[in-house]
Structure 1
Amino acid sequence: MAPESSFSSNAPAQPNHGQQALRIPSDLALILDDAGSTPPGPQDGPPAKKRSRTTTDYTHRKRVPARCVYGENDSPQPPSPTGHDAESEGSDQKIIARLDEIKDMIGREFLLEIDLPPSGLGDLSYPDPLPEPPLTFATLGADVETKALSPTNYDSRFEERGWCYYLAEISLRRTIDDTLQHLAEGGEKSWLSNPSQLIRQYHELEKQRSLWRFHLPTIVQFDDEQVPDNEFAFGLRGRFLEWNELLLRPILYHVLHLPSDQTPLQECVELAEKAIHLCEQKIYEYQHTLRHGGSWFITRRIFAYACLILAAAMQPERRIKLPARWGSAIRVAIQALGFWSQDAADSRWDAVLCRPPVEPTPPAPTDVPFTLSFGPSKPVPELLAALPPDPVCEYLVTRYFATLSPLFHILHGPTFQKQYWAFLQNPQQADLSWLALLYAICGLTLKTVPPTDPGLSELWEDSSTPRDLSSLSLKCREAAMMCLSQDQFLVRHNLNTLEALLILIHTIANTEGAEYGWVLLGNALHIAIALRCHINGDASNFIERERRRRCWAGILILHTDQTLLYRDIDLSSLANMKASMPSDANDDEIQEHAILTSPAQASSRRITHMSLIRFHFQLFQLSTRVHSHVSGPNQLNEAALGPFDAEISEQQQQWDSLYLVNGARSILDTAGYAHWCILQTYAHQLYLLLHRPFHHSRSSCFRPESRDRCAQSGLALLDIHRQFFQLPRLKCYRWLVNGTISCNALHGAVALTSCLVDMPNDADFTEHLAVIDAAVVRLECLKRKSPACSHIYPILRCLQLRLSRASPPSPARELAESRFEDWVSNVDWFRPDAIDWDFWDGDFSTPQADDDLTATT
């Protein structure tokens, strides 16, 4: 009988490549249980014999205290365990799980050190949540003396200890992170209101901490009072003591910030004293660390501990007894910070206290520049050479702000105009991030105009130049990324950097496919957080404040596109950031010191530059809640459909009242109608997400109303695609069908097909079939316009074939419907090479060539 888990303490030993397997001791199994869940999966072979240079020095040279080699939070990770069966099936999943765990650990390190919002990484799950150690060790319960290691047993014993440290470190970081989330639930105000609750909470959490320590394997045990010379135990001990200080920090905050007319409880004062003594202890221990990968975190902690001690020393009325050597500890902290600040720019006061500055600061003469380049630098004249001629460039910018910017209005027009005139006066001195923004604007506009546009005539004066605007647009986007790279945008960024990235991602999503911009969107999100776009900052400069708010709204809009196209994305962490919407004002109303809107304008329902952005902002909040619902355990709760439907309908009514005239499109406002159509795609996608589990008669929770709702939304999405493709008045927005609009149409076609195959045999849906046929004709024209359309076209062809064939006799029809539903549920629309086309064999047919089917128009 196979064991339940390879981590189980009573699991029978199983051979692995001829070597005897080991039962993992119960104390390590308990540690793993604390970390989350016991990881299932096949057994690994022995880890590769690989160790870092520092680890080798530690073992083969004269032993020195580990703190002289490693920081407490930068102990060496164990060798990457790639066994002899690394090429076997499932090895990729193990590597992904380990990489995800390392990514999670790094994210938790930054979350603890910087005031960043939760990233949501902890909400993601993998089949194997923890990496699995090899089951070939002699023992995990005995201590390892490095002195006694010989060349024959060194690797195995050292790697055993490395695995124990690695798994214990994962457990400890996760537990600390959960503790921090718990302590921060009520905010700092809650720490002042109920001291008895603070004390009780501390003792309960301290019990958990002691229990974690009790189950720690002997091989990585440590003494609280003695600094170990084992580098693994040294790092684990340091983090364990920091855990205690974090538990005590709310109590210290309570004692220091309690109103002067109130007296703190004596036990609170005693626990505050304990926190201060821990701070002093850690300052003395940290002063001996040499340079390592965690030096930045060490300096921040030294500074934080020194600040806590000074805060207590400056308030003697709080009756906190300071350590006898607290003054010496402060001097040690200053010396340590001064030492690191000599050659490390990120250890100076401004960088220690803040995230990257909004505006770049000139480097000090002693700074060694830190770069993350993607290629060799190019001189500015060479970067400028790819720009279109000045008249064409100005035309592209003008057209962008006239027709394209309102769809994604994150730029403040007057600010850009001022920057553009300054650029024309002295192009050689242009800021590279702003130059990237200019290239991004030109690249998008070139994708939306025909080659015969008179504004481009100067481009074609050289008859040898091919009239390929797609190629020119791609060159502009490549130039934009080159400017960003040369400007070191990954380590140095400003609002121009963020605006350029957002427009590039917007262009990619709407011309190539949303999936191609996902990685860039992650970069943009974290740059926006570094620039503090997610918080309500100082209103001393209204233009800068609104630019930040608009950029954050752009981040949310692009994430909304991703969540509608991919059903496995939960963005609750972004929704929980309480950022304000951009002000409902036009560009020319936003001045540096005020926003010039009259009370009548502020209270009226008028279309402004920000109307569409603000509606998108509301949609992000709604779509996030809908995705959280459909991804959770209550997705089959019919009672939730009514409130969600009502909320979507309410938003649709708001759009109708602003953009339509008596329920019909306005002939005076083409842009407004285009905006209305775009918003409707989001509403119908949300309807599909909500009603999909209830729309099929084979479902145990079938609702005829849900099937009707899915059919109506599918038809609506296909009709919106038709209008953007065919209506002359929407000609300047036709480029949108190359990306997201066609992806939405695909989802609508799949939903409609699923509803039609579930209809009774005698149902007449000729009109519905004509809608699918027309969509196939349109996508045939678009299939060479973008990767998204080329992927969508064959799927629509298959759906058309499925609906055009005569219905197979029952019970074959029921089997065919079941197979179709299974196929639809598992297909990956953006990887046609991975789609199971064999599904269309037998009862169905697979289109082999365009000539095999004559589309009906």
Structure 2
Amino acid sequence: MATSSRSSSKRLPISCQACRSRKIRCSRDGRPCQTCVRRGLGAEDCIYLGQPRLSSEHALTAESAGQTHLLARIRDLEELLQRQAQSHASASVSPQNSPSATGSFLESDRGVEVKPSNLRSPLLNNVGTLQSFASGYVRYLPFATHANQLQLSPPGTGSSLPSVDSEIPDESDDLQIPLAKNSVSREELVAILPPRQYCDALKNVYFQVFSPMFHILHDLTFEAEYQQFCHDSSSVTTAWIALLFAILGIAVTALEDDEPLLSDLGREKTVTRNIKILSSRYRSASLRCLAADDVLSRHSINSLQSLILINYARVHRGLPTWTLLGFTHHVAISMGCHVDPDRFPLGPIEREERRRAWAGVTMLYTTQNSVFGHLGHHIPSQGVKPPLEINDVDLLTGSLSEQSTRPTQMTYFLLEFRLDRVLSMICQTLFSFCPKFSLSQLEAQVLAVHEICDRRYQVNPNLEPLPVHHVANLNILYSYIHQLLLLLLRPGLCCYLQGEFTPETYSARTKCVASAKASLSIYHSLHESPQFASYKWYNCGLGSFHAFHAAVVLSVALMYPESQFEFVEIKDMLWKSMDVFAALSNRSNFCSKAVPVLRRLIDMACTRGQQAVLTVDPNTGLISSPSDLTQDLSPIAPEYIMEPLFSQLQPQSWVSPTSVYWDGWKFLFERG
């Protein structure tokens, strides 16, 4: 009887009509379901039989209000948690046991002072957001810095979603991860290489410019293998050919605009397009070689080095790296690089190659952790020692214990590795509820590296001048140091801009101005000096990011200068930097975005600063207290300018080039 009753009754479908009509799987998780959302359908199209059809307007209003209420509750709860955590930490932690400026942070887990809550970032509670694309792809934005980034678009609003292709540079490699073994022959892979003279030229560029910065290879070993390959291409492994392609893909980015090699190898109309196409071509060829070598199942030091260099190249080209880096990390583990090579019967060159490879993976991993907000996570290892600070020839001669009085091939690599770890600690401090380190300790760590740079790269009048690559590397290290100081001192500067005039906030303002000036000076020097022409790739990327950060800080300082001299000095420096940004904009996407922003920002800062200069005290030559300058300085309402500008100053926007929120600068163009 029951069976007859069930068979005679008609069960209503549990999937929506839109999915049923297309015969696709329905997620059945609301109106609209996620399947309809991915197809671009709204609530009015996602109908479940047996339910009243809500009007689109009612559904969207209710859902939007619910999301807004939920976001507000989450923020309130996180603020309460933050206050409780800080109160507990302040009561239980003593500031008396902080390490010295040169002490190790690894030994200072206990007794570290917690910085005052009024210096914490007001956007600390922000854990990021998800960015959806029209094609259904999703990307995590770790440090949302603007209210618009935190708002969830109500489903079915018809609001246009960005295209994932517009968010990623159009030079992505055509083979992302070499998981599938292919049938490409060695001859076909070798045929992709440029002619011998071009290979020689690009190889030399790599070892002159990039190898001293990211020294994971033993140059003498590679050079010997390269000469052997030139005489007999069958004498090397497919993984070694992958390494050669990776080197070519990096080297081509350092070529000058008028380099004939670019026009000979490329067919594009512009230098920028030629570099993009050639770099992508060689990276892709490297990945194809690794696929042909079956890198999923078997590995060698050359295949690991190839993967590391491909990651390095993609980072500097602004391409997504996180996924491929994870694969590279696991290849390193499968080869035992996470174990110190002294435990194995290996020669000195093999040991150092493994240590350098592991350090390269760790460096990239540490930086990407900071960029993605994956704070406090480190790659575990079994006591792997850092690479030795020696030249490659020392591994052949056995002079491993002698300390060089001049920088070695490993000096820059090891110092940048240390600065990357400091960046990680700064992010943990600025973006964590219970920071392990104080601002003063972190500042001491940065300054300690600065002192090491001064000492290791010191010019000795009794010796020959330092090679160009060492001078360039020193400037790049200094630029990184000033970037870290600007990031580290941001809470104090923001407090100063909010009217909290204390010795601490005034000191933060003074230090920020000094670091910003130094950063722009380095940026200009790397651009103007002919000896640094091969480093335009750096100035177009990371160097421009550091300079943009510095220019924004100086623009804010220009609004409230301390004296007429400072006003004129900063104004001239900013317009001078604008010329560099403009000159690089044809080769740098970052610069092309920064130029209009900086032009409007500097104009606005000059207007406000000029009005402040009119209040100079004739007796002292100084400008009145900043607190006297907060009213009626600009024809534009202060609340209109300062709130969005203050939001853009938050440290979340300045961790890496990809964290810059360009839409947040639109307020500069909304009037006049």
Are 1:751 and 2:553 counterparts?
Answer: yes
Secondary structure of residue in 1 paired with 2:438: helix
Q: Choose the corresponding residue for 2:340, options 536, 549, 552.
A: 536
1:823 paired with 2:651, answer: no
Residue type at the aligned position of 1:398: N
Cα distance in 2, alignment partners of residues 634 and 765 from structure 1: 39
* 1:610 alignment partner, one of 398, 410, 435: 410
Task: Give the number of the structure with larger relative contact order, counting CA–CA contacts within 8 Å between residues 6 or more apart.
Answer: 2
Alignment of 1:300-311 (within 5 A): none
User: Which residue in 2 is equivalent to 1:729?
Assistant: 531
User: 1 CA distance for matches of 2:489 and 2:591?
Assistant: 26
* Distance of aligned partners of 1:790 and 1:481 in 2 relative to their CA distance in 1, 3 Å threshold: farther
> Structure 2 vs 1, CA of residues 83 and 750 (structure 1 numbering), >3 Å: closer, same or farther?
same
Within the alignment, does 1:588 sit opposite 2:393 as a pair? yes
Instruction: Give the Cα separation in 1 of the matches to 2:526 and 2:603.
Output: 25
Superposed, which structure 2 residues align to 1:828-843 within 5 Å? 830=658, 835-841=663-669
Q: In 1, Cα distance between the equivalents of 2:544 and 2:445? A: 26
| Partner-residue secondary structure (3-state), 1:747 | helix
Q: Following TM superposition, by how much is the alpha carbon of 1:387 offset from its aligned partner in structure 2, in angstroms?
A: 0.8
> Are the structure 2 counterparts of residues 773 and 489 from structure 1 closer, same or farther at C-alpha, using a change threshold of 3 Å?
farther
Q: Encode CA deviations 1:520-566: one digit per residue, 9 max, x unaligned.
A: 333323322332223213352122221111112222333455467x3
Is the CA contact (8 Å cut-off) linking 2:266 and 2:277 kept in structure 1? Answer: no
Quick one: distance in 2 between partners of 1:774 and 1:567? 33
Q: 1:694 aligns with which of 492, 504, 508?
A: 492
* Cα distance in 2, alignment partners of residues 465 and 780 from structure 1: 20
Within the candidate set 442, 446, 466, 1:644 is matched to 442
Whether the 8 Å CA contact 2:468–2:532 is kept in 1: the answer is yes
Determine helix, strand or coil for the equivalent of 1:447. helix
Cα pair distance change 1:568/1:711, threshold 3 Å: farther
Distance 1:774 1:464 in 2: 31
C-alpha distance 402-501 of structure 1, shift in aligned 2 (>3 A): same
Q: Quick one: percent identity of the two aligned structures?
A: 26
Q: Deviations over 1:757-787 (max 9, x none)?
A: 3546978422212222222221222122133
Per-residue deviation, 1:500: 1.4
Would the alpha carbon gap of residues 792 and 463 (structure 1) be closer, same or farther in structure 2, given more than 3 Å must change?
closer
Matched letter for residue 687 of structure 1: L
AA matched with 2:336:
R
Structure 2 CA distance, aligned partners of 1:492 and 1:447? 30
Provide the rounded CA distance (Å) in 2 between the counterparts of 1:389 and 1:775: 40
Q: Deviations over 1:51-89 (max 9, x none)?
A: xxxxxxxxxxxxxxxxxxxxxxxxxxxx99552435579
Structure 1 residue 460, shift from structure 2 partner: 4.2
Is 1:409 the counterpart of 2:215 in the alignment?
yes
**Residue in 2 aligned with 1:503?**
309
Who wins on radius of gyration, i.e. which is larger?
A: 1
SS of match in other structure, 1:516: coil
State whether residues 366 and 378 of structure 2, in contact with CA within 8 Å, keep that contact through their aligned partners in structure 1: no
Render the CA deviation track for 1:651-690: whole Å, top value 9, x for unaligned.
1111111112279998443222112112112211221222
Q: Is the 8 A contact 1:495 1:548 kept in 2?
A: yes
**1:581–1:617 contact (8 Å) kept in structure 2:** no
Q: Secondary structure, in 3 states, of the residue corresponding to 1:442? A: helix
Closer, same or farther: CA 705–665 of 1 in aligned 2, 3 Å = farther
Residue correspondence of structure 1 range 308-387 to structure 2 within 5 A: 373=179, 377-387=183-193
Structure 2 residues not aligned, in runs of 5+? 1-11, 39-69, 72-176, 612-629
2:430 counterpart of 1:630: yes
Tell me the amino acid that sits aligned with residue 818 of structure 1: E
Q: In the alignment, which residue of structure 1 is the partner of 2:481? A: 683
Structure 2 CA distance for partners of 1:606 and 1:806, relative to 1, 3 Å: closer
For 1:540 and 1:711, locate their aligned partners in 2 and report how far apart those are by CA, in whole Å. Answer: 53
Q: Deviations over 1:254-274 (max 9, x none)?
A: xxxxxxxxxxxxxxxxxxxxx
Q: Residues of 2 paired with 1:792 and 1:530: CA distance?
A: 43
Given residue 631 of structure 1, which amino acid in structure 2 is its aligned partner?
A: F
What's the Cα RMSD here?
4.2
- Structure 2 match to 1:350: none
8 Å contact from structure 1 (residues 572, 624) kept in 2: no
Call closer, same or farther: CA 1:611–1:463 in 2, change over 3 Å.
closer
Q: Does the residue aligned with 2:331 lie in a helix, a strand or coil?
A: helix
SS in 2 for 1:695: helix
SS of structure 1 residue aligned to 2:31: coil
Distance 1:89 1:381 in 2: 46
Query: What is the deviation of 1:588?
Result: 2.1
Residues 443 and 485, structure 2, Cα contact 8 Å, conserved in 1: yes
Q: 1:500 to 1:372 in 2, by over 3 A?
A: closer
| Structure-1 residue corresponding to 2:29 | 83
Q: Does 1:427 align with 2:233?
A: yes
In 1, Cα distance between equivalents of 2:28 and 2:364? 38
User: SS at the partner of 1:406?
Assistant: coil
Compared CA separation, residues 378 and 787, structure 1 to 2 (3 A): farther
In structure 2, distance between residues paired with 1:699 and 1:86 = 47
Shift of 1:451: 6.6
Gaps of 5+ in 1: 1-18, 20-43, 50-78, 93-125, 128-370, 846-857
Structure 2 counterpart of 1:291:
none
User: Displacement, 1:723?
Assistant: 1.5
Query: Given the two structures, how large is their TM-score scaled by the length of structure 2?
Result: 0.63
Q: Which amino acid aligns with 1:531?
A: M
One-letter amino acid matched to 1:741: G
Q: Displacement of 1:642 after TM fit?
A: 2.5
Q: CA deviation at 1:712?
A: 1.6
Residue 522 (str. 1) matches residue 326 (str. 2): yes
Residue 412 of structure 1 and its aligned partner are, at CA, apart by 0.8
CA distance in 2, matches of 1:747, 1:691: 13
Q: Deviations over 1:606-658 (max 9, x none)?
A: 422212222223223333222222222356x9x92322222221211111111
Matches within 5 A, 1:97-112: none
**Amino acid in structure 1 at the alignment position of 2:519:** L
Measure, in 2, the Cα distance between the counterparts of 1:838 and 1:790.
15
Cα gap change, 1:801 to 1:498, in 2 (>3 Å): farther
Cα pair distance change 1:391/1:819, threshold 3 Å: closer
For 2:631 and 2:462, locate their aligned partners in 1 and report how far apart those are by CA, in whole Å: 45
3-state SS of the aligned residue for 1:85? coil
Aligned counterparts of 1:617 and 1:633: Cα–Cα separation in 2:
26
Q: CA contact under 8 A between 2:314 and 2:321: conserved in structure 1?
A: yes
Show the counterpart of 2:164: none
Work out whether residues 556 and 620 of structure 1, in 8 Å CA contact, stay in contact via their aligned partners in 2: no
Which letter maps to 1:817? M
Tell me, yes or no, if structure 1 residue 621 matches structure 2 residue 446. no
Shift of 1:747: 1.9
- Distance in 1, matches of 2:417 and 2:196, equals 36
Q: How does 1:136-535 map to 2 (within 5 A)?
A: 373=179, 377-428=183-234, 430-450=236-256, 456=261, 460=264, 468=274, 470-510=276-316, 512-513=317-318, 516-535=320-339
Deviation at 1:725, TM superposition (A): 0.9
Q: Which of 749-758 and 830-839 deviates more? A: 830-839
Measured in 1, the distance between the counterparts of 2:279 and 2:392 equals: 27
Question: Letter of the aligned partner of 2:379 in structure 1?
Answer: L
Q: Secondary structure at the match of 1:779?
A: helix
The answer (yes or no) to whether the contact 1:448–1:735 under 8 Å persists in 2 is yes
